[in-house]
Every structure is written in C-alpha cells, then in structure tokens.
Structure 1
C-alpha cells in the first residue's frame, strides 16, 4: 500500500513539474515594429508602425511555442503625414486593399533557455513569404509594475520589398528593408 501511495504522490509531483504552454498578449504600447532602408544611398530612413496586436504562446520547458502578430499598416509613421500617405499608396503598402500585415510562426528555436530564432510566414500586401526573425534579446520575468509575468524580445530580419510587390524606385531606393521588432507581452 505504501508503494502505491508513493507512486501516486511521485506522479502528482512530476505532473505538476511539467510546464504547460503560457499565453501572452502583446503590449501594444511597447511593441512598435520599425523598418529602415537606404534612400538613394544618401541616408537610412527609419519608420515604424504604431498599432500592433497579437499573442505569443510559450512552453519554455518544451522549448516550443507560437507567434501571431498583426500590424495595422494604416498606422505607418514616417514622421511626415505626406509621406505616410505616399507609403500607404498602391505603389507600396496599398493599405486601402491590405490594411494589415501578419507574421505567424509555430517554430521557435532555443539555445539553452534563450529564444534565438523564430521561423514564420510574413503576409504583406496579400503575399506570403517565409521569414526568419533573429532574436537578439529575450527575457521573461515578473513585470515590476503590473505584478504579472511578462516576456520581452528584440528581433530583426531583412526582407526584399520587391518580393512583396513594392518595388517602385528600386534599386535607387533600397530593395533591402531591415525590419526590427521590439516586443513585450503580458501573461494572460
């Protein structure tokens, strides 16, 4: 009888030790994707999107998870209202027809405890392409102000705008666009 009780107790503790996937909601106030490109070789232009939503699912013990991010492309902020309209035109983002871009992934790569890469699909202007985000920092801990668990990361990738039917003025205006995604998410 003691042996069955000990086995049951051990099974209970081992089940409790197994981590379950945790769901995090993107903090839109601290997640502002940026993009940069060469402008005729004169300078590197930097712009961002102001409206983002999504979820992250992490199972840190299994080193797996998923990412689902939606970017409101009408929220593009170049620093100039006139240029915002230009970037939203059919030549570029075509926000009248495609008001959102999405990134989805079910493939997270860890090295030890650190998330280092996210392989997914970027859908922009109705075109889906595989994209690998290189994660340059990753941290999960209790949020000191919200008193909830939170995770944050910085990730980057380079895409070609011609791959997404936005090649006007290429190559004079750079075809390579560096996308940087600082993200913070709060556990549900």
Structure 2
C-alpha cells in the first residue's frame, strides 16, 4: 500500500473519530416548558405541592452512545405555593434562604438507559450550601422534530425523593414531613 493510500486511510479514520466524538447534540432548556415542583405531607392531613416558575440550563445527549448530561438551575425566588405568605416563608432562611442562595442546581453525572429509553439520571443536587447525590427516576422521555420551533426538541419527566434535613431545611418537622418528592418536567430545544 502506497504512502498516499495510508495517509488517506488515516485521514478517513480521524474524520470518523471526530464525527463520533461530536455526535452529542446540545439543547437549551426551554424555560416556558420546564418546571420543577415538590410535594410534602402537611400535618398528616394532606399532600401539599409547590413549584418553581423559573429554570435555565442545558441538555447534552448522544442517543447512539446512550450518554448525556443535564444541568438545570432553578431560581429559588420563583417558588410558588399559591399563597403569598407561604411563598415568603419558603424564601426565608427557614427554608430556601433565597436571598443568600438564589440558585438550586442539578448537575448530572450519568445517564442510564433501558434499551433506547432513558430510565434514570444520576447527579448532584445543590440546595443552599449543601450538595448531595440523587437519582432521578425518568417516567417519560422523547425527542422529536418540533414544527413550532423548526428544530429538534427533547423532553422528559422524572422524580426523586430527598430529606429536607439533608439540606438544612428541617423547620417544622415532624408536622411538615422531612421527606419531600421532587418532580421535574424538562424540555430542551436543539441549539443551532
């Protein structure tokens, strides 16, 4: 084999490797379709819910390699319980201390697939000044071309369970449950 043919083969191999390395697609979080919410028990009487109305971040996804990454920043000041008084309490130092710690952040460390379906996302959740590992159970995942944006979009729903006391937010326990379920509804639009 001539030196020219060897050079061509090496160039083709390098291009193939470069193509596979850049197969991950990047999506910007759509803040109008991304919400995080939480559920807790109130005095054993009922499950109460609240949500956060402002989120940002990104998703990186390589479906062929079954790998990905997600980062979501949640604005702690956007907490919404449906009652202004409760919203102020949730923003206070007894709970999110939103003035000192305005962002709640989830950074993934691993995507886990079951065949072609995203099943779990492992990562670190930072609330206030505390970071703990969590596993999000993915209940729905899909990607498709969206005529609305003329771009590909991906979305998912999932949940995880945490203890408030792990994040220094255990005010009013046991009357308000220490255990909290966090729910995530996320959509991302592919970057150009």
Q: TM-score, normalised by structure 2?
A: 0.89
User: In structure 2, do the counterparts of structure 1 residues 119 and 9 end up closer, same or farther at CA, with 3 Å as the change threshold?
Assistant: closer
User: In structure 2, do the counterparts of structure 1 residues 70 and 136 end up closer, same or farther at CA, with 3 Å as the change threshold?
Assistant: same
Mapped pair 1:142 → 2:136: no
Contact 2:159–2:183 at 8 Å: present in 1 too? yes
Q: Offset of 1:19 from its aligned partner?
A: 6.5
Measured against aligned partners, the alpha-carbon deviations of 1:83-123 in whole angstroms (never above 9, x if no partner) come to 10011111111111111110001300011111100000000
Contact 2:121–2:136 at 8 Å: present in 1 too? yes
2:46 pairs, out of 40, 43, 48, with 43
Mapped pair 1:68 → 2:46: no
Mapped pair 1:101 → 2:82: no
Mapped pair 1:151 → 2:154: yes
2:30 pairs, out of 24, 27, 30, with 27
Q: Offset of 1:82 from its aligned partner?
A: 1.1
SS at match of 2:35: coil
Residue segments in structure 2 that go unaligned for 5+ positions in a row: none
Residue segments in structure 1 that go unaligned for 5+ positions in a row: none
Q: Offset of 1:52 from its aligned partner?
A: 0.1
Q: Offset of 1:16 from its aligned partner?
A: 5.8
Residues matched between the structures, number: 187
> Matched residues in 1 for 2:28 and 2:36: separation?
16
Q: Offset of 1:33 from its aligned partner?
A: 0.4
1:56 pairs, out of 59, 69, 81, with 59
Moved over 2 A (4+): 4-19
Q: Which residue of 1 aligns with 2:186?
A: 183
User: In structure 2, do the counterparts of structure 1 residues 8 and 54 end up closer, same or farther at CA, with 3 Å as the change threshold?
Assistant: closer
Q: Which residue of 1 aligns with 2:86?
A: 83
User: In structure 2, do the counterparts of structure 1 residues 95 and 8 end up closer, same or farther at CA, with 3 Å as the change threshold?
Assistant: closer
Contact 1:64–1:108 at 8 Å: present in 2 too? yes
Q: Offset of 1:143 from its aligned partner?
A: 1.0
> Matched residues in 2 for 1:60 and 1:27: separation?
20
User: Could you say what the CA RMSD is over the residues aligned between the two structures, in angstroms?
Assistant: 2.2
Q: Offset of 1:144 from its aligned partner?
A: 2.6
